[in-house]
Amino acid sequence: MGEIWILLAGLIVDLACRLYPAHLPYVFPFIFNAPVFLGCWLMLLWYRRGMARIPLARRPGRVRQVFFVTGIGLVYFVLQTHFEYLSQHMFFLNRVQAVTIGMVAPFCVAIGWMSEVLALGLPAPLLRACRSETVRRLGVVLFHPLAAMAIFLVTSDIWLIPSVHFAAMIDPNLYAVMNISCLLGGMLFWLVVLDPRPRPAARFSYLTRAACGFLVMFPQIAISSYIALTSQDLYSFYTLCGRLFPSISPGYDQMLGGMIQWIPPGMMNTAALIIGLNSLRLADIEAEKTFVPPPGAKVYEAKWTGR
């Protein structure tokens, strides 16, 4: 029943955006995007329903809940409020939007790791479809670390090619594809990297996933540093459409955008490496609790670790 109410709300909001775009408050969409609008609200509905059904002993902690809801909220804020208008008139705000939907929000959702909760909240037909053999085989391919890295880099960096970026900004349909592809690529990547489960529940080791999260930083640094440091005006769209803040020159706007694309994602990639290594440490500690040395084996204490 909740799904029907969300669908009706989406139809009403879409109609309001078409008929009264200049009279809507800031929290309403500047451009209604049905997949984003419905996706965010349905995720929150299924999360709430799943939390009501999951046994208390298996319920995720408060920190995970806050991360998950924050991630969904960030996606909605930068894509379905009037912030989107700002992001279309300043390059550095456009990069805030892109980094949020491609890095920060997926990172938060992956840290929350609500797979079990969402499975309990999904409608039964959709859950069966998600567990079908076709979807499973597709997941085996897409959730491979190398595939996730490649998709993440392509969906985030192809839109930084000046001619491609210009085309996306003047074409509403291509603009929507740009944002949704960045979001899906980021979700795929961070769900692989920040999977909290040990192997074999997760297909790859903590170290492999941590390396995957760290190594994508270097091509990102190369591209974003070039954008930030070059004296060439790469993104003429913002000059043509009119910058929201005329006091910020095209060169300074581009430098800010490059720095936003450069520094926060690099910090998050480093954080992913640290999280992965810490998860490996915690998994080793848990494994030692159930480890029984074979008869006659000698156990040596590692003095440098205190264990």
Question: Each residue's pLDDT tens digit in the chain (307 positions)?
Answer: 788 999 999 999 999 999 888 888 999 998 899 999 999 999 999 999 999 999 988 899 999 999 999 999 999 999 999 999 999 999 999 999 999 999 999 999 999 999 999 999 999 999 999 889 999 999 899 999 999 999 999 999 999 999 999 999 999 999 999 999 999 999 999 999 998 888 877 888 888 999 999 999 999 999 999 999 998 999 989 988 888 888 899 999 999 999 999 999 989 999 988 988 888 887 777 766 666 667 766 665 555 444 5
CA gyration radius, the chain: 22
Q: What is the pLDDT of residue 281?
A: 82
Asked if the structure places residue 38 within a domain, the reply is yes
Range of the domain at 267: 31-51+60-116+147-287
268 domain-assigned: yes
DSSP string over 108-132 = HHHHH--HHHHHHHS-HHHHHHHTS
Give which of 160, 148, 149 is closest to 225, Cα–Cα: 160
With respect to residue 140, please indicate whether it lies within any of the assigned structural domains.
no
Does residue 21 belong to any structural domain of this protein?
no
In a domain, 224, yes or no: yes
Is residue 23 in some structural domain? no
Q: Is residue 233 part of a domain?
A: yes
Q: Is residue 306 part of a domain?
A: no
Task: Render 77-105 in DSSP notation, one character per residue.
Answer: HHHSSTHHHHHTT-HHHHHHHHHIIIIIH
- Sign for the CA dihedral angle at 92, 94, 96, 102 comes to negative
pTM given for the model = 0.89
Instruction: Report whether 250 contacts 238 (CB < 8 A).
Output: yes
Asked if residue 28 lies in contact with residue 20, where contact means CB atoms within 8 angstroms, the answer is no
Number of domains in the chain: 1
